[in-house]
Structure 1
Amino acid sequence: MNRSTSSSSTSTQGPHLKRRGLLRAVFALRHSWAGIVATWREESAFRQEVCVAIVLLPIAAFVDVSAAERVLLAGSVLLVLLVELLNSSIEATIDRISLDRHELSGRAKDCGSAAVMMALVIAAVTWGVICGPLAWHWLRVHL
């Protein structure tokens, strides 16, 4: 068997060493951070969503709701960021393949955009259902 195709040789030799344990986690974290930074730099929608998250996450942490509701509030905000990161990766991949207009490229980008919209709807409904009654009560008492 050729050494270059042997699975045991690729994990112990060559330029593409497989990292294990803590070292693998460190490299994964570094790549994840690079993805966040690149998306921040290139995508205005991501920057806007991060700014909204900076406001909403502390509110989710301190609003007077149950622990499960708190997780739903925070999770819905983080879901938007997650889907935006995935959408950005789809767009970057399509643009890497070709900047020419193509029906399938357009469909892929439209589906990614629709996924972001669905995540935004999920977040809005979650916040509306959980915090809407609290906000309504506060307005009635203070206005």
Structure 2
Amino acid sequence: MRTFMRSVHYAVEGIAYAVRTQRHIRVHLTTTVIVCIAAAWARLSPLEWTALLIMCAVVISLEMLNTAIELTVDRMGLERHPLAKAAKDVAAGAVLLAVVFAIVVGILLLGPPIWQRVFGA
């Protein structure tokens, strides 16, 4: 149990570091709060909530992995290298793809009920 608690402690430290130092993590967290407020207002079903929360978790998790990759590559050396650039670009691309899909899921799930509540149609 002690090893598990130590692992949880390190994970929480990692999350805190990311929130404290990474602007994009804070943007994603703020967006998640806004999406949750919109979902509550739109009265989404539990399954729709699940889809939204999974997408938010995927985006935030990938952003944290992107940060870890960038930190690791930077630790290896600050000189420019094509493989270092590729590693950073691929990680950033993964975040971008997740964000695009999250936006699509958000529009599909939130669009119709919000439209109906605002315009009554």
TM-score normalized by the length of structure 2: 0.90
1:104 CA drift (Å): 0.5
What's the RMSD between the two structures over aligned residues? 1.7
1:128 lines up with 2:107 in the alignment: yes
Cα 1:135/1:58, change in 2 over 3 Å: closer
1:27-69 CA-to-partner distances (Å, cap 9, x unmatched) read: 1111111111111222111111112122223444564222211
- Counterpart among 63, 66, 81 of residue 87 in structure 1: 66
Q: Which runs of 5+ in 2 are unaligned?
A: none
Q: Hey, what does 1:67 align to over in structure 2?
A: 46
Q: Hey, what does 2:3 align to over in structure 1?
A: 24
Number of positions where the alignment pairs a residue of Structure 1 with one of Structure 2? 121
Higher helix share: 2
In 2, Cα distance between equivalents of 1:119 and 1:57: 18
Q: Which has the higher contact order (CA 8 A, sep 6+)?
A: 2
TM-score normalized by the length of structure 1: 0.77
Higher Cα radius of gyration: 1
Q: Which runs of 5+ in 1 are unaligned?
A: 1-21
Q: Identity rate of aligned residues, in percent?
A: 28
Q: Hey, what does 1:35 align to over in structure 2?
A: 14
Letter in 2 for 1:139: V
In 2, Cα distance between equivalents of 1:91 and 1:57: 29
In 2, Cα distance between equivalents of 1:62 and 1:74: 15
1:47 lines up with 2:54 in the alignment: no
In 2, Cα distance between equivalents of 1:133 and 1:57: 16
